[in-house]
């Protein structure tokens, strides 16, 4: 019933925006008023990020990698979802009048920076890897989200220094205000911490202090693993998919060759902290400590246990089928 839904969703190539051309698959004549407004708003975001050295470099990387951005009305106004297989991320919808306010601009800047940072992760070899064991995939997802939070705070601090303090005020008064406080405290103790990665590391570590943040991240990570498992079953055991009368899921993520088997290597986790200037503020981070992996949400814990069991069952069944074919 919903097949084809969203096929006309707007998609803007950031490279075309940089060249001041009409973006995506739309001609200027075919753009609706709402689409024109969204295009203009993305240009505004790019103009703001030009005043942040970090934001500017992330944007340049996305342009060079031909990343696209779109609008998904089903996402929250401050939401962002990245599709590695499409090299694309969506922002949430918010009313036009709100977009003209500092609050609206701040919401979209946070989402836009998240999309740019996820594109950076993907093209530097540290995108989401469903070949990891579920518990390690959760740890990787947490570290990616924590890194995005830390990087967003650094970009906001740079904008504050350039005279645009509205984004920093938004972060300070928002649900991640504790991260902003810890980040600012590190810089006030030593201004050089803005540049040597110490403030970023402080903000990164603080992200794990709030159980609601980790639980929300874990929920999304587990859903991604569920979808990846369905894709894996469609490839390796199509009869299992047909048995539940389900179609293979759309390729939001690349189809996995291996699922749920590898451990998260420390070096792979450290790559999440690499910055465009070459500094890696997560170098030497003890990712295996309890602080980064503790599981406090009962529902997520149960979901994880079921997912681990299902992956083992699929792997065992596939091994048996492969042996019989030989």
Query: Which tens digit of pLDDT belongs to each residue from 225-284?
Result: 998 888 888 776 555 444 444 444 455 666 666 788 899 999 999 999 999 999 999 999
Among the residue ranges 19-23, 115-119, 212-216, the one predicted with the least confidence is 19-23
Domain hosting 201: range is 124-326
**Are 92 and 141 contained in the same domain?**
no
The residue-averaged pLDDT of 34-53 equals 86
pTM: 0.87
Same structural domain, 58 and 161:
no
Same domain, 114 and 167: no
d(CA 269, CA 179): 21
| 240 plus 318 within the same structural domain | yes
Q: 252 vs 92, 127, 184, 248, CA distance in Å?
A: 17, 13, 37, 11
Domain boundary among 118, 137, 155: 118
Phi and psi of 27, rounded to 5°? -85, 160
**DSSP readout, 50-100?**
TTSHHHHHHHHHHHHTT-EEEEETTS-TT-EEEEGGGTEEEEE---HHHHT
Final residue before a domain boundary, out of 59, 93, 118: 118
């Amino acid at each position: 019933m919903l097949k084809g839904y969203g096929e006309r969703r707007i998609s803007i190539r950031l490279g075309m925006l940089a060249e001041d051309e009409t973006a995506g698959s739309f001609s200027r004549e075919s753009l609706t008023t709402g689409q024109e407004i969204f295009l203009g708003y993305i240009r505004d975001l790019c103009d703001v990020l030009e005043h942040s050295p970090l934001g500017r470099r992330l944007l340049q990387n996305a342009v060079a990698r031909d990343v696209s951005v779109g609008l998904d009305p089903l996402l929250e106004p401050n939401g962002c979802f990245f599709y590695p297989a499409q090299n694309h991320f969506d922002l949430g919808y918010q009313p036009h009048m709100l977009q003209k306010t500092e609050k609206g601009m701040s919401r979209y800047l946070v989402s836009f920076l998240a999309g740019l940072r996820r594109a950076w992760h993907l093209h530097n070899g540290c995108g989401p890897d469903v070949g990891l064991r579920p518990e390690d995939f959760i740890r990787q997802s947490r570290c990616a989200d924590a890194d995005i939070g830390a990087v967003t705070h650094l970009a906001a601090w740079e904008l504050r220094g350039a005279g645009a303090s509205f984004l920093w005020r938004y972060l300070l008064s928002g649900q991640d205000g504790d991260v902003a406080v810890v980040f600012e405290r590190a810089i006030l103790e030593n201004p050089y911490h803005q540049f040597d990665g110490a403030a970023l590391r402080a903000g990164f570590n603080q992200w794990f202090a709030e159980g609601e943040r980790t639980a929300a991240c874990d929920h999304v990570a587990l859903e991604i693993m569920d979808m990846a498992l369905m894709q894996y079953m469609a490839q390796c055991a199509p009869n299992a998919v047909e048995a539940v009368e389900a179609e293979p899921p759309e390729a939001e993520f690349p189809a996995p060759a291996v699922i749920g088997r590898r451990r998260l290597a420390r070096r792979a986790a450290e790559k999440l902290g690499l910055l465009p200037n070459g500094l890696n503020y997560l170098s030497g981070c003890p990712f295996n400590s309890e602080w980064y992996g503790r599981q406090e949400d009962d529902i997520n814990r149960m979901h994880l246990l079921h997912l681990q069991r299902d992956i083992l069952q699929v792997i065992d069944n596939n091994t048996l089928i492969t042996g019989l074919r030989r």
